[in-house]
Chains A and B, each alone.
Chain A
């Protein structure tokens, strides 16, 4: 479990995150949603330690990332996997070498064992056939899958994803979503996914944190999102077609029930 308490981040007098507290649970897909520029990515980068927040606490099973010693931070980071918006695969390495990289750096396995583990991860994301290719030779969806394979290579406890569906077609998006959800369940990972894709939220989201202009407006289970008593949340989710359709279906159903009762 990851707990964030009173997190704020200021960039040159501009408050990007304002006193955010949130909890991310183990074994489920936690999602941070909000419109572009709401501070989602900055929040995620603060959580993994890429950006140092101005104030607040980030607790990994009770251990505060911001007060840890360098060695502890390094140890914690080996328990993290991260999928970046642009995949961030190393251009100079093949897909297999990319997945093997964390193993090369931090495991004492033999080369054969490392390769076997990397191939298992690639198999898990259905990408073994592209193991010998370079990132420039594969599609965006394949890059994302390779990045997921790299992120799970060291059996992480925490998986962070920054807009995993950006730039992908709906079919591939769904594939990536399902992959992330199944990996979360299979390995009992605490997954935190930043997205503004409501299809994704509906498909795999379980615990939702909604940010608006650097402020946490709402947090709770997905099932309660639609009924959230918050104007910003309503505006955001009902801008999406999928919610409009859901709402319309519900209204029609309610009207029919009314007529039946009369």
Chain B
């Protein structure tokens, strides 16, 4: 009887999409909103020079959120949540012989467990980044509405001034690369666990550390290659 893997793959894919992606929306919204607001407050207070137009706050906060905060810093934060989740889940399956059980059944355990996670996170990461960009800019908008520094109209004018659509694609491409790094590195650490609960904890921590380093290095290289 040939395996019916496509059906199982999609079943797992949608499960992971929900577990890794949809459940992260709350965290993304919360952090993006406050960071967006704080960026606007900081810029408004520190870019208060007579020779700079007041809409500069909108322009700079947009570029910060679009180019680095939502596409890189948000991925760093998500590597903590999602990365440790993947490493500990797969690590626990390893030490409780659930992966051995898959192997004995003739299931390719790496393919069954890891592939849906990687694809799901690559697919959903841009969605989270778009959410983050939108909510971050909204955070700035709302703080402007409360403090009028700068006025909402000026902020919105700044958001629209000198806009380059390419930056959106740049952020999306970056987030997909980071999604791949987070899911694959964490899965590797979980899958190669040997020992007990202590080792699962260590794998989880190590995956977050390595993910962070790789994300930062990749960010530098990718930015230099694409924007340089």
Q: Does A107 contact B (CB under 8 A)?
A: yes
Roughly how many angstroms separate A213 CA and B7 CA in the complex, as a whole number?
46
CB <8 Å contact, B106 and A84: no
Roughly how many angstroms separate A161 CA and B78 CA in the complex, as a whole number?
41
User: Smallest Cβ distance from B113 to chain A, in angstroms?
Assistant: 10
* Chain A stretch 74-111: residues in CB contact (< 8 A) with chain B: 74-78, 80, 82, 84-86, 88-92, 101-102, 104-108
* Residues of chain B within 8 A of A76, CB atoms compared: 106
User: Smallest Cβ distance from B120 to chain A, in angstroms?
Assistant: 15
User: Smallest Cβ distance from B27 to chain A, in angstroms?
Assistant: 21
> Which one of B3, B4, B8, B97 contacts A88 once the chains associate, using CB atoms below 8 Å?
B97
Roughly how many angstroms separate A77 CA and B106 CA in the complex, as a whole number?
5
User: Smallest Cβ distance from B111 to chain A, in angstroms?
Assistant: 11
* Residues of chain A within 8 A of B5, CB atoms compared: 105
> Which one of A77, A80, A82, A108 contacts B1 once the chains associate, using CB atoms below 8 Å?
A108
Q: Does A48 contact B (CB under 8 A)?
A: yes
Q: Does B225 contact A (CB under 8 A)?
A: no
CB <8 Å contact, B100 and A88: yes
Q: How many A-B residue pairs have CB under 8 A?
A: 65
CB <8 Å contact, B103 and A50: yes
CB <8 Å contact, A90 and B98: yes
* Residues of chain A within 8 A of B4, CB atoms compared: 104-108
Q: Does B50 contact A (CB under 8 A)?
A: no
CB <8 Å contact, B100 and A107: no
> Which one of A77, A88, A102, A104 contacts B7 once the chains associate, using CB atoms below 8 Å?
A104
* Residues of chain A within 8 A of B97, CB atoms compared: 84-86, 88
CB <8 Å contact, B105 and A107: no
User: Smallest Cβ distance from A121 to chain B, in angstroms?
Assistant: 14
Q: Does B2 contact A (CB under 8 A)?
A: yes
CB <8 Å contact, B7 and A106: no
CB <8 Å contact, B106 and A108: no
17 pairs from A and B in contact (CB 8 Å cutoff): A45-B100, A49-B104, A50-B100, A75-B106, A76-B106, A78-B105, A80-B105, A86-B97, A88-B101, A91-B98, A92-B15, A104-B8, A105-B3, A105-B107, A106-B1, A107-B4, A108-B1
Contacts A91-B93, A91-B98 aside, 8 further interface pairs with beta carbons under 8 A come to A74-B106, A77-B106, A78-B105, A78-B106, A80-B104, A84-B100, A92-B15, A105-B5
